[in-house]
Structure 1
Amino acid sequence: MYHAILLVALGLNPEYVTMPIYWCFTIGIVLFSFSIYGLILSDARGKKLKFLGPITPLGGLLLVTGWLLLCIAAF
C-alpha cells in the first residue's frame, strides 16, 4: 500500500520518472507482486511454476533499494 502511494506521488512529478528511485519501485512492485500471484495461481491449478520463487526476493530487494535511495535523496 505504501509503495503504491509513493509511486503515485513520484509519478505526479515528471522529473522523478527518469530517476532510479522510480524504476526501483516500479520494477520491484511488478516482480514481487506478480511472482507471488503466479506462485499462488500455479499452485491452485496444480502446475507448480518453481522458477517464480527466486524472483520474489529480487522484487523485495528492489523495493528496499528504492526506499534507501529515497532516504538518501531526502537528505
Structure 2
Amino acid sequence: MAQDFNRAMREALADAVGFVAGALAGWWLGRQFGIDFIATSEWNTRQLIGLVLIVGGCGVGRFAARRLMLRDRP
C-alpha cells in the first residue's frame, strides 16, 4: 500500500511540475518569436499560435517530467 501511495504521489508531482514548467517554456518560446498570448485580448492567427505553443509545452513538459521522475531506480 505504501508503494502504491508513493508512486501515485510521484506521478502527481511529475504531472504538476511538468505541466507548469512546460507551459512557462511554451510561453517563453512564443515571446522569443514575438508572440505573447497572455498580453493581448485579441484572437488572431498569432495569438492562436501562441496558445498552441503553451498547450504543446504543457504536454511535452508533462511527458518529460514523468520520464525523469518515474524511471525505476535499481
Flag whether TM exceeds 0.5 (same fold).
no
Query: 1 or 2 for the larger relative contact order (CA 8 Å, sep ≥6)?
Result: 2
Give the structure with higher Rg (CA).
Answer: 2
TM-score (norm 2): 0.43
TM-score (norm 1): 0.43
